[in-house]
Each structure stands twice: as C-alpha cells, then as structure tokens.
C-alpha cells in the first residue's frame, strides 16, 4: 500500500470527528471555482468547490443515468455518493487499495432506490474486474499515487466496455522533462512528506499513453487557475490547526504545490478518453 501521510492523519481524526475529518469528510481533493475571485475562504465554500470538482469530472466522463461506473481511488466514497444522489439506475463501484478508506466509505453509503453500490479493495494497475465491465471509469485526483499512470490506462481500457469513457484528473508538470531535473526531485520529496507516494512523472504525453493502451484522448482541459483558491484556504486551515503534527505534516507539501501551481509549473489537467466501439 502506498505511503499516504495525509490519509493517515484523516483516518486517525475521523473517530473524534476532528477539524481535519470535517474538512475532508466526504471528498479528499482540490476545489474548483469557475470564477476563482469568488472564493471566500470559508469551509462551506471549499466543500462546495470540491463538489463542483466532482461535477467537472462527471461532465468529462459523460456520466448519465443507467450506467455501470467504476470510481478508482474512491477515497471515502464522496464522489460515488454524489452520483448516487443525482443519478438513477446506476451500478456504482468504488475501488481503493486502502481497506481503511473503504470501511469508512461503506459505513456512510446507502444506495438510492434503483442504484447499487459495491466496494472493492485492489490495485489500480491490476484491476480485479473482467474485461468490458464498465460504461464509465473515473479517477479523481489519485492517479499520481499509482505506480504507473500508463499501466492504469491499460487496465482501464481493458475493463471499459467498447464505447465507454474514462475521465482522469492529474497534477502534470508543464514540461515532461521537468520530472527528471534535480530541482523537481528535491521538491518532490518535500511534497511527499505531506501527500505521500508519488508515481513517476510520465515520460510520454497522456495522448500517447492512451493510444498505447487503446484509448483515444478526446479532450484535455487545464483547470489550474480554477483550483488556485485551494492553496490559501488549506494553508490557513493547517496553520490554525491545534495539532502540531498536522501543521508539520501538511504545510510543507501544500506550500510547495502552491508555489509550483502559481508559477504555472504544475498544471491541473482533466482528460477524457474514449474506448472505440
């Protein structure tokens, strides 16, 4: 299982319903603001922005009623619960390599009438499903934790039905060779102290990786600017937190990601892949 310091803190904080677990109670990803200047820095605003980020991925993945959908790296199940609340006749499956996250997701998720929800423990690069199993696959802000982005795309292509769609959100350095420079390797280790295991930076573009997996890249959208209010909110939240452990663990990596994103060296990309009929 990958090393994920922020999830370790979250798991420890959930039984007491502490501040950190309230922040990432359902969703554990960045927020999305269509108009970044509208962000007001409140917890309610950030929670709403995380739900809007889900909406961006659902739109990218062409999610609609009556589908068999897999959420890879499902966390505490917030994305699946949002789909469950807004769509009908859905067969929803969440997969995660961490059984603690799955237990938390299962405890608070009840399928709406006409929907089903199932949870699986497994590796995103070795999906425990038959070929051609799903109409849609989502990977919301998790693929950078996987050992190989390319191996995940191969597996996603295998379990997607012909005509199906995959939507992925990822932090991507603006230049692929940036991932091989000494400065990135140094920064990467600092980010990992907060956010844990980071898979290798892809040496090929997402378009080429998808093509090798048998997927066609239909759209690529850079929403870096729409995510920027995440950083001042999180830094303020962590600095004010009563736990010194949380402050020490979370501030360093968040500060570096803020710096890289503000300079445009780290993009936040949303990709839509299509498996040909």
- Residues 6 or more apart whose CB falls under 8 angstroms from that of 210 comprise 153, 216, 217, 271, 273
- Residues 6 or more apart whose CB falls under 8 angstroms from that of 126 comprise 155
| pLDDT tens digit sequence for 40-70 | 999 999 999 999 999 999 999 999 999 999 9
Listed as ranges, residues in the chain with pLDDT below 50 are: none
Instruction: Enter the pTM of the model.
Output: 0.95
Domains, the chain: 5-274 (3.40.50.150)
Determine the pLDDT at residue 200: 72
Determine the pLDDT at residue 4: 86
Determine the pLDDT at residue 145: 93
Q: What is the DSSP letter of 123?
A: B
Determine the pLDDT at residue 180: 65
Contact between 241 and 43 under an 8 Å Cβ cutoff? The reply is no
Sheet hosting strand 266-274, strand order edge to edge: 116-121, 91-96, 68-72, 134-139, 160-173, 266-274, 216-222
Determine the pLDDT at residue 213: 96
Determine the pLDDT at residue 22: 85
Contact between 252 and 190 under an 8 Å Cβ cutoff? The reply is yes
């Amino acid at each position: 299982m990958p090393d994920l310091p922020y999830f370790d803190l979250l798991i420890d904080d959930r039984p007491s319903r502490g501040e950190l677990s309230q922040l990432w109670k359902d969703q554990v990803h960045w927020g999305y603001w269509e108009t970044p200047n509208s962000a007001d820095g409140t917890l309610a605003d950030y929670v709403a922005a995380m739900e809007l980020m889900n909406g961006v991925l659902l739109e990218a993945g062409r999610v609609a009623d009556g589908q068999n959908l897999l959420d890879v790296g499902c966390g505490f199940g917030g994305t699946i619960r949002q789909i469950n609340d807004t769509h009908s006749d859905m067969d929803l499956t969440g997969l995660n390599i961490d059984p603690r996250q799955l237990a938390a997701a299962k405890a608070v998720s009840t399928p709406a009438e006409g929907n089903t929800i199932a949870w699986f423990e497994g590796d995103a690069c070795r999906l425990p499903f038959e070929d051609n199993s799903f109409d849609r696959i989502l990977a919301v802000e998790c693929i950078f934790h996987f050992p190989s982005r390319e191996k995940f795309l191969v597996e996603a292509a295998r379990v997607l039905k012909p005509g199906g769609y995959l939507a992925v959100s990822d932090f991507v350095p603006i230049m692929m060779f940036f991932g091989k420079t000494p400065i990135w390797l140094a920064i990467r280790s600092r980010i990992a102290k907060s956010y844990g295991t980071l898979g290798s930076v892809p040496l090929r573009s997402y378009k080429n990786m998808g093509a090798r997996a048998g997927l066609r890249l239909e759209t690529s959208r850079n929403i870096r600017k729409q995510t920027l209010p995440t950083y001042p909110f999180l830094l303020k939240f962590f600095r004010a937190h009563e736990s010194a452990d949380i402050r020490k663990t979370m501030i360093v990596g968040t500060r570096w990601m803020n710096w890289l994103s503000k300079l445009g060296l780290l993009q936040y990309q949303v990709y839509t892949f299509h498996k040909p009929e």
